[in-house]
Amino acid sequence: MAPIDPVAATQALIRCRSVTPVEGGALDRLQSWLDELGFTCHRLVFSGDGAEDVDNLYARLGNAGPNFCFAGHTDVVPAGDPQAWRVDPFAGTVIDDALYGRGAVDMKGAIAAFVAALSGFLDERGRDFGGSISLLITGDEEGVAVNGTRKVLGWLQERGETLDHCLVGEPTSDARLGDTVKIGRRGAMNGRITVYGIQGHSAYAHLADNPVHRLIAMLHAITAEPLDQGSDFFPPTSLQIVSIDVGNPATNVIPAEARAVFDCRFNDRHHSGDVERWLRERLDRAGARYDLDIRVSGESFLTPPGRLSDLCRAAIRDVLGVEAELGTTGGTSDARFIKDACPVAELGLRNATAHKVDERVGLVELRQLAQVYRAVLDGYFGS
């Protein structure tokens, strides 16, 4: 088949309106290229567990090991007000050597770059490259991620199919393409604190128990000292109070309740359970009656530097002349599920415009990423 062009492929994917959890034709498009490249494609629609149905794609070429997997997502976050954009966010328009559109960097561009790399690799190497290549692409990474990657991994496990290494195409680059490879992610949890007091007249405070004062003390107790000083590949754990809510319209009433919300991104020195214990210990000292409702969206994890991160760094050095740093910053990603299956690293475009109005990628950058992915494949299978 004709080689796949990363720019045209990204445009084709952007034109599919695949806002989570809608498939929007994006997986169909991707599958059509993979079918042509000879992959065996499985469409996996998962439902239930209180979340919407999600369409996923697992495609594999070859039966032998090792199985090199590229993982990602075709779903995108909403475009917001389309009038705020320079162009239609789903038109895939090129202006001044940049391709605009929702998903351009997060992460349709990376998927297109990988498929382009793949078509070049297979064109040159044929089918006998000594292993398998697979793609695990979900339609729900930006949403609740219940019926996406996690369930595809379960399905693979049931089939007895293993992944040996996995590269995730999330936009990890910062100031320039290839400057950061992610080898782990911080854990994420948020918590809602509700403090109960006794309502009363503020002029007769001795007859009341002011939950606002107690809440202030409690918040101070959990923010006064850091949880840690960071670790080898992680920054210090960050705990941010993001909201304090009392909602009291009166000036002469001590309210009965006060609430606050915090967001915590913790490093690999903690499991979420340790963080919760740390929090409760400090909150308990305030001596107030309170509820703490904690949601954990992911544990921290690290794939220690090794073959996959070495390959990525070498590919970046060869193609771009850049020395990549191994990092763990940013939000969470589906790598948090994949890390239980095999070593995982993340490498993709610059994230400057991800989730923003006028999300865009430079055409040169897109082609360079395809070259980097190609170099990773060559390195993995030995060129």
What is the binding site for Zn ion (CB under 5 A)? 106-107, 170
355: left (phi over 0), alpha (psi -120 to 50) or beta: left
Cα angle vertex 166, ends 342, 331, to 5°?
Answer: 95
Tokens of 238: 């960050």
Residue closer to Zn ion by CB (options 16, 193) is 16
SS3 363: helix
In the bound complex, what is the minimum distance in angstroms from residue 188's beta carbon to Zn ion? 15
SS3 199: coil
In the bound complex, what is the minimum distance in angstroms from residue 333's beta carbon to Zn ion? 6
Based on the residue annotation, tell me whether 124 is a catalytic residue of this protein. no
CB 333 within 8 A of CB 185: yes
In the bound complex, what is the minimum distance in angstroms from residue 229's beta carbon to Zn ion? 30
Tokens of 21: 């959890």
The residue length of the chain stands at 383
Q: Among the options 106, 141, 209, 334, which is catalytic?
A: 141
In the bound complex, what is the minimum distance in angstroms from residue 65's beta carbon to Zn ion? 28
Residues 6+ apart with CB under 8 A from 311: 376, 379, 380
Residue closer to Zn ion by CB (options 107, 264) is 107
Cα angle vertex 274, ends 273, 280, to 5°?
Answer: 90
Q: Which residue is nearest to Zn ion (CB)?
A: 106
Helices (H), the chain: 6-14, 26-36, 109-125, 149-159, 211-223, 272-285, 307-320, 335-338, 363-381
Tell the residue number behind the tokens 């991800």, with chain if given.
Answer: 354
Residue closer to Zn ion by CB (options 107, 275) is 107
CB 41 within 8 A of CB 35: yes
139: closest CA among 13, 52, 20? 20
In the bound complex, what is the minimum distance in angstroms from residue 328's beta carbon to Zn ion? 16
- Rounded to an integer, what distance in angstroms lies between the CA atom of residue 33 and that of residue 59? 11
Residue closer to Zn ion by CB (options 143, 255) is 143
Based on the residue annotation, tell me whether 141 is a catalytic residue of this protein. yes
Residue closer to Zn ion by CB (options 106, 299) is 106
Residue closer to Zn ion by CB (options 105, 189) is 105
How many Å is the Cα radius of gyration of the chain? Answer: 24
Tell the residue number behind the tokens 């490259």, with chain if given.
Answer: 129
- Rounded to an integer, what distance in angstroms lies between the CA atom of residue 300 and that of residue 234? 10
Residue closer to Zn ion by CB (options 106, 268) is 106
Q: Among the options 75, 140, 299, 365, which is catalytic?
A: 75
In the bound complex, what is the minimum distance in angstroms from residue 190's beta carbon to Zn ion? 20
CB 270 within 8 A of CB 185: no
In the bound complex, what is the minimum distance in angstroms from residue 40's beta carbon to Zn ion? 26
- Rounded to an integer, what distance in angstroms lies between the CA atom of residue 118 and that of residue 121? 5
- Rounded to an integer, what distance in angstroms lies between the CA atom of residue 182 and that of residue 173? 9
* Positions marked catalytic: 75, 141
